[in-house]
Amino acid sequence: MQVESDPNQNLNQDEQKVANYLTQGFSLFKAKNYPEAIKAFNEVIRIQPNNQYAYFGRGVSNYLLEKYQQAKTDLDKSIELDSSLPLAYFFRGITNSALGNKDNAITDLETAAKLFEKDGNTELAQTSRDVIKRIRNA
């Protein structure tokens, strides 16, 4: 007689792996080791293809590596999966600006400012508005 393994055990293992890779990815990101952070975020996406935080982390890492098109693709996916992340809009806005998409940059930054305001983060809301002014005056 063969004993069936508990299907939830694999799920729990995957969730633990995802949590570990996310933690590792953001730790590497904070240490400014963006290429290694991207590898950790890739592992999250491999295990959990709809993890908005992995796409966000990979997108910002790509932005900081000046890989703007890759950054935009990841930030688009992060926002598609969770439209309530103000930092995703903020970074997609500055990525759009880097790509020369001024109107899209302003739209994203306006959305970021509204979401930051809604979350009570007036400082980042103001930062978003300041970046909009810089883009308009560029």
pLDDT tens track for 110-128: 999 999 999 999 999 999 9
Ramachandran angles phi, psi of 41, nearest 5°: -65, -35
* Amino acid at position 70, single letter: Q
Q: What is the pTM of this model?
A: 0.90
What domains appear along the chain, each with residue ranges and CATH number? 11-67 (1.25.40), 83-138 (no CATH)
Find, among 115, 66, 64, 62, the residue nearest to 87 by Cα.
115
Q: Residue 75 is encoded by which pair of tokens?
A: 């930030």
* Amino acid at position 66, single letter: E
Which pLDDT value is given to residue 8?
52
| Residues listed for the chain | 138
CA dist., res. 75 & res. 55, Å (int) = 6
